[in-house]
Structure 1
């Protein structure tokens, strides 16, 4: 099956979420939340991420995670990840309870494509203090793709992880998981990166982006937001509308895409130093805001 076929299938089966100019979304991907071991790349940014997540919760944003949220290649089960970052999952639970949580699976958490696996592992957790199970993400569903559809203009924003354009990480993800667990995870402590990852392989990254652009061109220039490559992208109107929200494992920062007031922006959260030497987490606007309607193809 070609990358076009995989993307077409993801688009056809996508969950549709209506929105309008009053809607607010934050799009993050590639958090790669781990078990807080030496191989947990997310651990360095967890305080930045938690601060940003709390800001978006208070401000009434809906949260869309575009795959690879949980690092289930390096880690065998979700429980160890949950215990390492329990405060984050409890906050995500609040989004879920208010129907503001939309989750997409990527290649590193592709096990979530199985509803039974999700139900068994994410519905509840054991609380040692109370000695009983407590509800976590009861009834949650993971999707391969989501379409945000504007209620007035009918403009669509296609959200997916993007590994559909990466034949190895989509078709042979089990082999990739095996190699990461057995070979690359132990070598990470020595600074040796997994060469099969497009985030670490510039040549493969460009191939993935080229396949995604080709698909967008053949589908009436639908505005598409992906992750997977970890490289933020924010095209200008008139260019091929392929956006990338980056990742949450950049050195000392996380990047994401905001949709608010009918506009789209690329943002970064990082730690800044005040003049008195104290540290604070700040939001930085990288690109935009740009009106979404500017990306509608002119007939």
Structure 2
């Protein structure tokens, strides 16, 4: 897979219109696991759940930008459905209000398969009648996307939201090999001796930077705006930079990051555990990027497309 896949998505993906009255939050790389030592979200589950409930209570639309569930370490949702029943319960409340959209990534790409819902339901039902009921309700009432376009109606300009693994060779073209290595080798090597998983771009600073640079390059070459996850490396561009955003992840040490759009402005936020003077711990949200009017980035994309078009026309004339 390559940058062409991003262009294909931008041209063909499902499109959601929004304006300055809408509130949207983008979160990715949650990696909901089995509730054991191998579960990357385990230490942050209360941070994540607090953030979810805040966004539900404040009428945000929740967009999960891939790798919401850890299906490389786990064969199916049998344990995930139980460990994160409270999360799927909140998801179902979002669903009732039509305010949740799920994009799959490389770690939960099985959501793209036609038999995904039926297969998972069979696995869950083998355990018991009521086991995993919140999860079953969730998958049966939601569609899973590779990417989604968001159309800002005041400018009639859209931007693409996708996981970002499409240009990461080990996590797209060779994803099946990487999955086997993670599930049967690196998962246990990490547990026993603390070895890092070499297939995981999020654990390699050089690989993170390389992938982020490639994604930003696609933005620059095509005059588009893009929001991704995958690298676990949050990024909020200056208004004069190509508008490539990364919402980070939910498995940082005692913290989770997200991108919010509210009142026509875009921000990067961080949810973390803070200690009061009394010793009480609480989960607090802080803005760490922006807020900036989203029209600044979309106008950059429009002007860049116009510039690129003029350059192409000039080159054709000179041939």
Category of TM-score, reference length = shorter chain = over 0.9
The TM-score with structure 1 as length reference comes to 0.94
Does the residue aligned with 1:188 lie in a helix, a strand or coil?
helix
Does the residue aligned with 1:41 lie in a helix, a strand or coil?
coil
Alignment of 1:153-164 (within 5 A): 153-164=155-166
Alignment of 1:137-156 (within 5 A): 137-156=139-158
Look up the match of 1:209: 212
Distance 1:210 1:24 in 2: 28
Q: Quick one: structure 1 residues 268 and 13, their matched pair in 2 at CA, closer, same or farther if it must change by over 3 Å? A: same
Q: Does 1:198 align with 2:201?
A: yes
Distance 1:58 1:124 in 2: 32
Look up the match of 2:31: 32
Question: Residues 190-239 of structure 1: CA distance to partner in whole angstroms, max 9, x if unpaired?
Answer: 2211012111112221221222122112211x211100000000001010
Q: Quick one: structure 1 residues 94 and 119, their matched pair in 2 at CA, closer, same or farther if it must change by over 3 Å? A: farther
Distance 2:260 2:79 in 1: 30
Is the CA contact 1:48–1:253 (under 8 Å) kept in the aligned structure 2? yes
Is the CA contact 1:254–1:269 (under 8 Å) kept in the aligned structure 2? yes
Q: Quick one: structure 1 residues 115 and 152, their matched pair in 2 at CA, closer, same or farther if it must change by over 3 Å? A: farther
Distance 1:72 1:116 in 2: 15
Higher strand proportion: 1
The worse-fitting range, judged by mean Cα deviation, of 263-272 and 190-199 is 190-199
Question: Residues 119-140 of structure 1: CA distance to partner in whole angstroms, max 9, x if unpaired?
Answer: 5426996595858966333231
Q: Does 1:170 align with 2:169?
A: no
Higher helix proportion: 2
Does the residue aligned with 2:179 lie in a helix, a strand or coil?
helix
Q: Quick one: structure 1 residues 132 and 147, their matched pair in 2 at CA, closer, same or farther if it must change by over 3 Å? A: closer
Displacement after TM superposition at 1:84 (Å) = 0.6
Q: Quick one: structure 1 residues 93 and 125, their matched pair in 2 at CA, closer, same or farther if it must change by over 3 Å? A: farther
Aligned length: 297
Distance 2:161 2:137 in 1: 28
Look up the match of 1:247: 249
Distance 1:187 1:97 in 2: 42
1:188 to 163, 187, 190: 190
Is the CA contact 2:104–2:111 (under 8 Å) kept in the aligned structure 1? yes
Distance 2:238 2:95 in 1: 33
Unaligned runs of 5+ residues in structure 1 are none
Look up the match of 1:84: 83
Look up the match of 1:43: 42
The TM-score with structure 2 as length reference comes to 0.88
Distance 2:258 2:22 in 1: 17
Is the CA contact 2:77–2:124 (under 8 Å) kept in the aligned structure 1? no
Is the CA contact 1:22–1:260 (under 8 Å) kept in the aligned structure 2? yes
Is the CA contact 2:29–2:250 (under 8 Å) kept in the aligned structure 1? yes
Is the CA contact 1:124–1:138 (under 8 Å) kept in the aligned structure 2? no
Distance 2:132 2:59 in 1: 31
Is the CA contact 1:232–1:244 (under 8 Å) kept in the aligned structure 2? yes
Question: Residues 256-285 of structure 1: CA distance to partner in whole angstroms, max 9, x if unpaired?
Answer: 000000000000111111111111111111
The worse-fitting range, judged by mean Cα deviation, of 240-249 and 130-139 is 130-139
Does the residue aligned with 1:80 lie in a helix, a strand or coil?
helix
Look up the match of 1:52: 51
